[in-house]
Amino acid sequence: MISNKHFNKLVSILMIIAVSFSLILIALPKSSTSTTYIEQPDYVTTIFDDDKVIEINIEMDETAWQEMLDNASAEEYTAANITVNGTTYNNVAIRPKGNSSLSQLVMDDTTDRYSFKIKFDEYVDGQTLDGLSKLVLNNNMSDATYMKEYLSYKLLESLGVPTPECAYAHITVNGEEWGLYLAVEPIEEEFIARNYGSTDGNLYKPESDSVAMGNKDNQNDMKDKTDFNPKQIDQSQDSSNNTTSSSTQNSSNQMQTPPNMNNGDTSGQMQTPPDMNNGDTSGQMQVPPNMNNGDASGQMQVPPNMNNEDNSNQMQIPSDMSNEDSSSESQSSDNTGNISNELPANMPNGMGGGMMGGGMGGNSNGADLVWNGDDISNYSAIFDNAIFKTTDSDDYTKILDMIEHLDSMEDIESYLDVDEVLRYFAANTFLVNLDSYVSNMNHNYYLYENNGIVSILPWDYNLSFAGFQAGSASNAINFPIDSPVSDSLEDNPLIANLLEVDEYKELYHQYLNDIVENFINNGTYETLIAKTDSLISDYVKNDATAFYTFDEYEDAVSNLLTFGYDRATSIAAQLDGTQPSTSTGTIETTVYLTAMGQQGGGNDKAGMNNMVNKPDNNTTTTDNSNSTNTDSFTAPSNNTSENASAPMNNSPGNMGGNSSNLDPTVMMQAMQIIQSSEDGTITDSIKDELLNLGLTEDDITQLSSMELPNQDSNMQDFKNNNLAMGPNNTSSNNTSLIITLSSIALLIIAILVVSLFKKRKYIS
């Protein structure tokens, strides 16, 4: 029989083990997120299918449609019947959407290709698109590749960042061709429920004062339905009798009044911002002070004090930035007026951080997440843009707690999902996505707070791949990974303060290396581009409202491919120390940024394409006879500099490190033909197809010796290689479950032992 002494020891040991397991469970990082599998709604597979283009037909009275377009700046919902992939949804709400892109299109009388937002349940309670109540249709205005936003989301998704679903959509209006858009899942209730299992937390979309002008995207969608008097579809009613919303109807096609700007004026037109040509009473947006006001062309002029004597309308080097030096180091030597690679040292990263928006964080109102005391009013850019109606002032304190601890970095993981944030910024840095948190604009991101822990969520990547404030192609390719902002690190504490912690910086570098090795070098990136091109190229060719020609699209895709390889080369060199990581490096590139699309859209909208993104004269080779922009691009080289890392030997298009004269489009087609075979081998019939494409026997021999990547498997491998996969982390799920069950089992055993022996007599 067991002695009382030994029995007590046994029970004590079992209890200690059980409690220890329980404490381990409690001590697991709070940022490991959910512990259960979240069932995905139907729309994830039925609507957002990477292998198909969504077919959407908008049915609306012609007069009502044109009236909505003519008053696009009002962003008011109008009713329509919308057919999606053959299924018709009646009385669906649709409106134009956007911020700066919407304003630019309103002022452009050559196109009505607006982005749209659709609400399926605005007029019909409970109506959804296979579980999705809202859908965004983006017009690809500033993207000649049509792929920037799509590829960005795929990269973020592969890193385990909660990411909106997206797919291409072919739009027709009353059966007539309209164009190829990108359909995107909004970051709202359904997105949060899909990624986090519930909507118990609080969601914010920060917008600093410098970019909040004219942005009604949040305000319109947060109104109660009772606030609307929508234009319902009534076949028996003349469209001219349709009622409008309670806001003032304006049919002048002029920009409307943004919130808190000249609110005393009820004309509904955008008023002159403070101190901006206030003497003009026309109500139309005026040119900012000192910005070539005498020019009436409507194109963006030279910012104040930036070589205003130059009448070329091209962006010059700011007057306070090495003005006394007129040598070729400070100005481009091609006499075009464009800024060269050698931008002044005091211009952050060589980027245009202070050229757009409200200045260096001066009008942030909390969107930069800089700690400014515990007064809630100092963070209006966050709290005025809460998405959920259930969010109240009590919830604000959780965001304030995060910002305060971000400032001190004390116990930061109890307030911030650090791992998720680092993944987000690794992708953002690779993409040189400056139209985001990391510029003085401090926008195009969401904050989601749940149980006191805050995550950052991605949004709006049409200007990724250096489409905004990037300067030259060389600056973009060499954008520094450890100073990944366009203004100053102190104004961007969400990334700057994390990088000051060695552990976090090392993890951030690991995610950057994952992108280089598992997204670029293994061929996933190129295969994804090839697959996407195969899916959409015919739609692009026939796009009725396109901002770019099909030839421009093909040129843009070629540059996009080169950008990925050159950017990976630069990041690899920064990681191994052969290139600087806090300032602009010297990796050479043949990328032509403007060809890929820039802010302002196609057809030189707003004169943006005349700025600084033409090919660099001194960045390609030492042989000046080599052009940086030709009609036919060879496959991108992965070893573009003496300081570059080793070539990516298995990348399609690189042909095992040997140069190929094939156009990248032909190479993409060749890859698709090979991958169409059952096992990827080159049979006689496939060889004939490759020869018909223009490949030589040598090309085919090289291809046959390569293991061509499979995009889906590579993406899955990339995900599996990363330990923490965001909200749906099955690895942490299993660990937590095992520990929990073990603890329960041990406690049960201990209780049974006590119950079994308490009735017995023990030997003393």
Rounded CA-CA distance 649/657 in Å is: 5
So what's the pLDDT on residue 483? 97
Q: Can you tell me whether residue 196 is helix, strand or coil?
A: helix
Q: Is the pLDDT of residue 589 over 60?
A: yes
Task: Give the pLDDT of residue 502.
Answer: 98
Q: Which residues pair with 96 in a beta bridge?
A: 116
Residue 703 pLDDT level (bands cut at 50, 70, 90) = low
**Domain end among 205, 233, 261:** 233
pLDDT, greater one: 4 or 747: 747
Q: Within this chain, do residues 25 and 105 fall inside the same structural domain, yes or no? A: no
Of 425, 426, 431, which Cα lies nearest the Cα of 596?
431
Residue 330 located in a structural domain = no
Q: What's the CA gap between 530 and 92, in Å, rounded?
A: 35
Residue located via tokens 């899916």? 535
Residue 169 and residue 103 share a domain: yes
Same domain flag for 55 and 167: yes
Q: Which of 135, 121, 119, 139 is nearest to 69 (CA)?
A: 139
Res. 354 pLDDT band, cuts 50 70 90: very low
Confidence of residue 85 (pLDDT cuts 50, 70, 90): very high
Distances (CA, A) of 302 to 107, 306, 314: 19, 6, 7
Indicate if 27 and 143 belong to the same structural domain: no
Distance CA 572, CA 670 (A): 28
Residue 180 sits in the same domain as residue 141 = yes
Instruction: For residues 151 and 225, state if they share a domain.
Output: yes
Mark whether 157 and 219 lie in a shared domain: yes
Q: Residue 26 sits in which domain range? A: 4-33+729-757
Q: Residue 16: what pLDDT?
A: 76
Q: Are 593 and 566 in contact (CB under 8 A)?
A: no
Domain ends where: 233, 250, 278? 233
Same domain, 29 and 65: no
Residues 27 and 156 in one domain: no
pLDDT over threshold 60, residue 662: no
529, part of any domain:
no
Residue 219, in any domain of the structure: yes
The Cα 188–Cα 387 span in angstroms is 7
Range of lowest pLDDT (39-48, 306-315, 393-402, 701-710): 306-315
Task: Give, in order, the Cα–Cα distances in Å from 427 to each of 369, 422, 684, 703.
Answer: 20, 9, 41, 30
Quick check: is 196 in a domain? yes
Burial-class residue 547 by CB neighbours within 10 Å (0-12, 13-18, 19+). buried
Average the pLDDT over each of 52-61, 453-462, 498-507, 724-733 and give the range with the smallest value. 724-733
CA 615 to chain centre: 25
| pLDDT greater at residue 684 or residue 181 | 181
| For residue 109, pLDDT beyond 60 | yes
Number of structural domains found in the chain = 2
Reported confidence tier of residue 322, pLDDT bands at 50, 70, 90 = very low
Q: Note whether 97 and 151 are same-domain residues.
A: yes
Order of strands across the sheet that contains 202-204:
202-204, 445-450, 453-458
pLDDT-derived band of residue 698, with 50, 70 and 90 as boundaries? confident
The domain boundary, picked from 214, 233, 252, lies at: 233
Confidence at residue 173, expressed as pLDDT on a 0 to 100 scale: 98
More confident residue, 132 or 308: 132
Q: What is the average per-residue pLDDT within 311-315?
A: 40
Place of tokens 């299992």: 197
Residue 716 to residue 519: CA distance in whole angstroms? 11
In a domain, 275, yes or no: no
Q: Average pLDDT of the chain?
A: 74
**Same-domain status, 10 and 121:** no
Does residue 332 surpass a pLDDT of 60? no
Structure tokens at 162: 């909660």
Residue 310 in domain: no
Does 753 score more than 60 pLDDT? yes
Does residue 292 lie within any of the structural domains? no
Cα-atom radius of gyration of the chain, to the nearest Å? 28
Direct distance between the N- and C-terminal alpha carbons of the chain, in angstroms, rounded to an integer: 11
d(CA 693, CA 594): 29
Q: Give the confidence band of 417 by pLDDT, cuts at 50, 70, 90.
A: very high
CA dihedral sign of residues 548, 549, 551, 554: positive
Q: Is the pLDDT of residue 166 over 70?
A: yes
Strands (DSSP E) along 301-388, which ranges? none
Residues 152 and 126 in one domain: yes
Q: How high is the pLDDT of residue 139?
A: 96
**pLDDT tens for residues 240-270?**
333 333 333 343 344 343 444 333 343 334 4
* pLDDT at residue number 353: 40
Per-residue pLDDT band at 17 (split at 50, 70, 90): confident
Among the residue ranges 118-132, 565-579, 731-745, the one predicted with the least confidence is 731-745
Residue 321 lies in a domain: no
Q: Pick the residue with more confidence: 207 or 320?
A: 207
Reference 451, options 701, 693, 198; nearest CA is 198
> What does the pLDDT read at residue 244?
37
Which of 101-105, 414-418, 506-510, 689-693 is predicted least confidently? Answer: 689-693
d(C-alpha 184, C-alpha 139), whole Å: 11
With bands split at pLDDT 50, 70 and 90, how would you rate the model's confidence at 21?
Answer: low
